[in-house]
């Protein structure tokens, strides 16, 4: 008990939030996609992934390779194959229902009314064509009928297909508890294998079923029979119960009954609990596994450098980080997830000493920093500046003993130099390149370049890199 | 330590000083600062005047001399001859100026290791730079 309390004490509030959020996401995924193929396929993929881990553990080379390849493209497969289901969840529901709503898939379509009405039509020798759309968009397949938007009732269905009604020959489109359209024209099937006694209604039902995932119900006035077209099948329906079952299967709806409500709630609570347990289990296995230490060498990133401030010298550009965490988390640490950033906003020109603290190291969640080497970084910061410096000639060699170099005039006397303020701060003169005295015999003029000793120095734009020297030589 | 010999030569030129005052022709208060009339690097001083002005001193020569002449010198004051080898101060020579005018010089004993560009900054007590004389010590 004490150990449990001690263990729980090590948890941060972020960890609890982490588990709660992940559990809720998992639970919402179940609530939104339960009963659909997406949920089943994702569940299957989870098992596939677990199987793959086992295969890796057991050293099954080809099996693990194949499963890894499948699971790697699983997300892509889910998005492509189940785009309709995903779209219907994301589009049909508002944000509130996605985040909170429990939309149990109880039957909204009055399937019993429709089914009994269909059999009522056969008894009255009235033909009918009813379309129950699936996920496919039918707008491009059927010729649009007359908008109706009427709530389904037995009387309405009978009156629409009554012989005296101008739209009785067309199909009705049913969605939920509404008849959306009446008098819709369906594409006729071109199949040659349909029985000869099939009339236009049957061919229209077969035509739409072939080219979409819709279910089409045909009531034949001559043969007093009911058939359902789905895909390439045309099934004769013997009774109301069979029809109810077929339509229900097509719409993916469950029977709504008060007795169903309680198990539904129980299922959701159970799903919520399972989500929490599953996520908590994964979380603990990830974060509280065997503690491991690794060392990473990371480059230091310098942030918030003042404008024009340059780094002249750094005692180190790479630091060695010692990180600890569970085996799973440590194994998944990628270098791009780890950053060492030093804030230079308070840097001044000259030498600055920075100590790398925890706040300067960005790590993935669950990974702790144990040590940094070196922990202090010495940076020499500088700004580039300009300074006007007088020019002095750098005479070298030996002048003939009989001569005396009396004076020299330089033009220009000073030039503007650009470079590190630290270097320029201590400079009061810029020198020319060396001028050998051996060649000088009499008064004259020479043109000589400026010697910019430090690499970080250059003559400022507009300033000349050479000077003219007029010198005067006298005989002794 | 380089042997620096600072000799102060007093030259009384009150007439010149008076002439300067007359030439100014202004009602402004006369400056308290001495005026540097002549500053030059030379090989020697003879009869209170610089001999063999030059900007090159061979290491084989004995020494380098910086000569300065101030006129007028409104009141007794100090000036400095600051000898720099490149940008590093080598020696700072304190020299006294006496009213009404004064010439003075400092001398640097040349060693073989002194080769390179040099300069002498002539400054006042308050740091005012009167002149910068540039020269080189060569082979």
Q: A139 with A211, same domain? A: yes
Q: How far apart, in whole angstroms, are the C-alpha atoms of residue A209 and residue B9?
A: 125
What's the pLDDT score for residue B26? 41
Please answer whether residues B79 and B122 qualify as being in contact, where contact means their C-beta atoms are separated by less than 8 angstroms: yes
Local confidence band at A322 (pLDDT 50, 70, 90 cut-offs):
very high
Q: How far apart, in whole angstroms, are the C-alpha atoms of residue A340 and residue A338?
A: 7
Among residues B98, B114, B136, B108, which one has the least CA distance to residue A432?
B136
What's the pLDDT score for residue A259? 52
Range in A79-93, A105-119, A182-196, A411-425 with the lowest mean pLDDT: A79-93
CA A271 to chain centre: 27
Counted domains in chain B: 1
Q: How far is CA A68 from CA A133, A157, A166, A370, in A?
A: 37, 54, 60, 34
Residues of B in contact with A399 (CB under 8 A): 56, 58, 138
Please answer whether residues A330 and A294 qualify as being in contact, where contact means their C-beta atoms are separated by less than 8 angstroms: yes
Q: A356 with A401, same domain? A: no
pLDDT at residue A423 above 60?
yes
For residue A87, the tally of other CB atoms under 10 A from its CB is 11
B42: closest chain A residue by CA: A406
Q: How far apart, in whole angstroms, are the C-alpha atoms of residue B38 and residue B50?
A: 10
Range in A50-64, A437-451, B10-24 with the lowest mean pLDDT: B10-24
pLDDT at residue A257 above 60?
no
What is the domain range of residue A194?
A: 110-251
CA dihedral (A454, A460, A462, A467) in degrees, to 10, reads: -30
Count of residues in chain A: 476
What's the pLDDT score for residue B124? 95
Counted domains in chain A: 4
Q: What is the mean pLDDT of residues A10-18?
A: 80
pLDDT at residue A453 above 50?
yes
Range in A103-107, A220-224, A231-235, B60-64 with the lowest mean pLDDT: A103-107
What's the pLDDT score for residue B4? 41
Q: How far apart, in whole angstroms, are the C-alpha atoms of residue A228 and residue A48?
A: 37
Q: How far apart, in whole angstroms, are the C-alpha atoms of residue A165 and residue A183?
A: 10
Q: A391 with A326, same domain? A: no
Q: Which of A346, A374, A402 finishes a domain?
A: A374
| Within a domain: B130 | yes
B20-72 tens-digit pLDDT: 333 333 444 556 889 999 999 999 999 889 999 999 999 999 899 999 999 99
Q: A114 with A92, same domain? A: no
What is the pTM assigned to this prediction?
0.47
Q: Which of A394, A395, A475 to mutate to test the interface with B (most CBs of B within 10 A)?
A: A395
Q: How far apart, in whole angstroms, are the C-alpha atoms of residue A73 and residue A54?
A: 19
pLDDT at residue A287 above 60?
yes
pLDDT at residue B3 above 50?
no
Q: Which of A240, A272, A287 finishes a domain?
A: A287
Q: A323 with A355, same domain? A: yes
As a whole number, the mean pLDDT across chain B is 82
pLDDT at residue A260 above 90?
no
Interface residues on B facing A, Cβ-Cβ cutoff 8 A: 43, 52-56, 58, 86-87, 115-117, 119, 132, 134, 136, 138-139
As a whole number, the mean pLDDT across chain A is 84
What is the domain range of residue B95?
A: 36-138
| Within a domain: A5 | no
Residue B64 CB-density burial (10 A; 0-12 exposed, 13-18 middle, 19+ buried): buried
What's the pLDDT score for residue A79? 75
What's the pLDDT score for residue B2? 39
Q: What is the mean pLDDT of residues A133-155?
A: 84
DSSP state of A187: P
Q: What is the mean pLDDT of residues A433-439?
A: 93
Q: A100 with A116, same domain? A: no
| Within a domain: B125 | yes
A51-60 tens-digit pLDDT: 887 887 888 8
Q: Supply the CATH number for residue A215's domain.
A: 3.40.1700.10
Residues of B in contact with A406 (CB under 8 A): 53-55
Please answer whether residues A324 and A295 qualify as being in contact, where contact means their C-beta atoms are separated by less than 8 angstroms: no
| Within a domain: A160 | yes
Angle subtended by helix axes A37-58 and A74-81, to nearest 10: 170
B95, β-bridge pairs: B79
Among residues A221, A246, A258, which one has the least CA distance to residue A112?
A246
Q: A155 with A170, same domain? A: yes
| H/E element, A129 | strand A128-132
Q: A82 with A201, same domain? A: no
C-alpha torsion sign, points B120, B126, B129, B131 = negative
CA B64 to chain centre: 12
| Within a domain: B69 | yes
The arrangement of strands across the sheet holding B56-58 comes to: B56-58, B129-138, B116-124, B77-85, B88-97
Q: Supply the CATH number for residue B103's domain.
A: 2.60.40.1930
Radius of gyration of chain A (CA): 43
What's the pLDDT score for residue A102? 60
| Within a domain: B64 | yes
Q: A320 with A281, same domain? A: no
Contact check, Cβ <8 Å, A427/B87 = yes
| Within a domain: A4 | no
What's the pLDDT score for residue B5? 40
What's the pLDDT score for residue B32? 80
DSSP state of A443: S
Q: What is the mean pLDDT of residues A293-313?
A: 89
| Within a domain: B106 | yes
| Within a domain: A219 | yes
What's the pLDDT score for residue A223? 78
| Within a domain: A145 | yes
Among residues A252, A230, A224, A209, which one has the least CA distance to residue A118?
A224
Q: Which of B117, B120, B137 to mutate to test the interface with A (most CBs of A within 10 A)?
A: B117
Please answer whether residues A161 and A120 qualify as being in contact, where contact means their C-beta atoms are separated by less than 8 angstroms: no
Residue contacts between A and B (CB atoms, under 8 Å): 53
Q: A115 with A74, same domain? A: no
């Amino acid at each position: 008990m004490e150990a449990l309390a001690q263990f729980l004490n090590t948890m941060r509030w972020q960890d609890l939030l982490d588990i709660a959020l992940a559990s809720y996401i998992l639970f919402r995924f179940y609530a939104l996609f339960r009963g659909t193929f997406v949920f089943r396929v994702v569940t299957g993929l989870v098992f596939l992934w677990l199987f793959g881990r086992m295969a890796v553990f057991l050293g099954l080379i080809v099996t693990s390779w194949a499963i890894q390849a499948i699971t790697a493209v699983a997300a892509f497969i889910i998005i492509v194959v189940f785009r309709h289901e995903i779209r219907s969840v994301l589009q049909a529901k508002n944000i509130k229902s996605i985040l909170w709503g429990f939309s149990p898939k109880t039957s909204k379509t009055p399937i019993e009314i429709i089914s009994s009405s269909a059999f009522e039509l056969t008894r009255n020798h009235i033909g009918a064509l009813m379309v129950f759309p699936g996920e496919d968009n039918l707008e491009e397949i059927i010729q649009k009928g007359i908008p109706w938007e009427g709530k389904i009732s037995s009387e309405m269905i009978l009156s629409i297909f009554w012989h005296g009604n101008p739209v009785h020959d067309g199909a009705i489109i049913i969605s939920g508890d509404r008849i959306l359209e009446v008098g819709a024209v369906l594409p006729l099937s071109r199949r040659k294998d349909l029985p000869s006694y099939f009339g236009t209604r049957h061919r229209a039902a077969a035509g739409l079923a072939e080219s979409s995932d819709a279910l089409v119900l045909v009531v034949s006035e001559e043969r007093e029979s009911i058939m359902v077209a789905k895909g390439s099948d045309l099934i004769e329906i013997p009774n109301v119960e069979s029809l109810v079952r077929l339509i229900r299967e097509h719409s993916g709806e469950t029977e709504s009954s008060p007795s169903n409500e309680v198990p539904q709630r129980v299922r959701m609570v159970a799903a919520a609990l399972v989500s929490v347990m599953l996520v908590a289990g994964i979380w603990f296995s990830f974060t509280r596994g065997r503690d491991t230490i690794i060392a990473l060498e990371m480059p230091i990133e310098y942030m918030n450098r003042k404008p024009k401030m340059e780094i002249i010298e750094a005692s180190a550009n790479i630091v060695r980080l010692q990180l600890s965490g569970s085996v799973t988390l440590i194994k998944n640490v990628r270098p791009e997830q780890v950053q060492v950033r030093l804030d230079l906003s308070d840097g001044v020109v000259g030498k600055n000493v920075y100590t790398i603290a925890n706040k300067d190291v960005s790590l993935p969640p669950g990974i702790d920093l144990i040590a940094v080497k070196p922990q202090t970084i010495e940076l020499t910061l500088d700004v580039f500046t300009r300074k006007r410096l007088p020019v002095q000639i750098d005479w070298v060699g030996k002048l003939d003993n009989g001569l005396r170099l009396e004076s020299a005039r330089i033009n220009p006397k000073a030039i503007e130099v650009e470079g590190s303020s630290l270097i320029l701060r201590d400079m009061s003169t810029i020198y020319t390149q060396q001028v050998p005295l051996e060649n000088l015999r009499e008064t004259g003029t020479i043109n000589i370049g400026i010697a910019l000793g430090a690499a970080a120095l250059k003559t400022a734009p507009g300033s000349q890199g050479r000077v003219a020297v007029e010198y005067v030589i006298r005989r002794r | 330590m380089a042997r620096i010999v600072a000799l102060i030569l007093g030259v009384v030129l009150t007439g010149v000083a008076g002439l300067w005052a007359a030439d100014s022709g202004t009602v402004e208060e006369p400056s308290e600062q001495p005026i540097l009339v002549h500053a030059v690097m030379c090989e020697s001083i003879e009869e209170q005047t610089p001999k063999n002005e030059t900007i090159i001193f061979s290491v084989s020569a004995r020494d380098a001399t910086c000569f300065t002449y101030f006129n007028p010198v409104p009141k007794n004051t100090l000036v400095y001859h600051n000898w720099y080898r490149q940008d590093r101060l080598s020696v700072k020579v304190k020299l006294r100026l006496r009213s009404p005018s004064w010439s003075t010089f400092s001398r640097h004993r040349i060693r073989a290791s002194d080769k390179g560009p040099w300069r002498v900054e002539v400054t006042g007590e308050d740091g005012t730079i009167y002149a910068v004389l540039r020269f080189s010590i060569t082979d």
